[in-house]
Amino acid sequence: MPCVCARCVQHSKTLGLTQASPTKAAMRKAFRAAAKRWHPDRFENNTRAQKDAEEHFKLVQVAYRELWDHDEHPVQPSLETAAQPPVETPFAKPKPPAPAPTIHFAGAPGCFNAPNFPPIAHPIIAHHLADPEHAIAFIDLSGPGSPPRSRSQFVLLTVDGIVVRDAHKLVSLLWYSDLGDVRITERRRYGKLNFWPRLVERLYGVRPKYALLVYRRTGSLFCAFADEMDDSVKKVVYNFLLRMKSETRR
C-alpha cells in the first residue's frame, strides 16, 4: 500500500505526480520524465540555469528513492500513536542494513572501487549523484595518455543504476530495475576500431575480442562497449550487471 505521509506527499509533487497514492509504474514514469527535464547536462551553456537544475535533479532523485522505499514500508501512524513516544521492545532485534553491492576489477587500469576514487572522479560523482556514498565503482573510458581535463568518457556504477558518458558528451542513466539483456559478443561484428585501440594494438599487440552490449528492459540498446574497455573489465561489468538485475527483481 502506498505511503501517504507528509514527506511522500511532497515527494509526489516534486515528481509531478497528481495521484494521491501513485503506483510504482507511475513513480518510475514520473521519475524518468523529471530526471530528463532537470538533468544538469541540458544546461551546459547556462551556468545559472545549470545550478538550479542540479538542485532540482538531486531533489528528484531523493523523492523517487524515498517514495519507492515508503511504498514497500508505508509510514502511516494513527492520531493516537503519533502523540505518544515509541515504545522500545527489549527483545526486538534491529533489522540489519542490506549489504552494499561490490565489484572487483583486480587492479585493471582505469577502474576504481569506492571509496578509493581518483581526484577526477569526485566532481563527476558529486555532479551525478544526490548522495556520493551511493557510488560503487568508476571506470575511466578515456584513451591512454589523454590529459585529465579531456577525460569525459566514463562509467559510473551506483547502488541503483549505471551512468554512462560517451565520446559525444551524452550522459545516459539506466536503473537496474529497468535493465534488460546484457550480452558479450564478438567485437569485430560490432564495428570498426577507433584510433586509440588501433594504436594500442600496434604498440603492444593487445587485441580485445569482445563487445559488451547493455539493453533496456524495453529491448532498446542502452550502451555498448567495444574498444573503450578491456575484455577482462567487460566480463566483470557483465557479471555485476546480471547480479544487480537479478537482485532488483527478487
- Res 52: pLDDT: 77
Determine, yes or no, domain membership for 101.
Answer: no
Q: Are residues 164 and 54 in the same domain?
A: no
My answer on whether 67 and 159 are in the same domain is no
Domain presence at residue 93: no
Cell numbers given for 185: 559478443
| Same-domain status, 128 and 229 | yes
Same domain, 232 and 125: yes
Report the CATH number at residue 39. Answer: 1.10.287.110
Domain count, the chain: 2
Q: Tell whether 95 is covered by a domain.
A: no
Hey, how many other C-beta atoms are within 10 angstroms of the C-beta on 231? 16
Residues 146-160 have pLDDT tens digits of: 444 445 789 999 988
The predicted-structure confidence for 197-233, as pLDDT tens digits, reads as follows 455 455 545 556 888 999 998 999 999 888 788 899 9
| SS3 label, residue 206 | coil
- Same domain for 209 and 142? yes
pLDDT tens digits, 57-88: 888 888 888 887 777 666 655 444 445 554 44
Residues spanned by the domain of 173: 111-248
The pLDDT tens digits of the residues spanning 88-100 come to 444 444 445 556 6
- Is residue 84 assigned to a domain? no
Cβ contacts of 135 within 8 Å, gap of 6 or more: 114, 117, 125, 129, 156, 157, 158
Could you count the other beta carbons within 10 Å of the beta carbon of residue 36? Answer: 11
Q: Are 171 and 238 found together in one domain?
A: yes
pLDDT tens, residue by residue, 100-138: 688 999 889 999 998 899 888 888 888 888 777 789 999
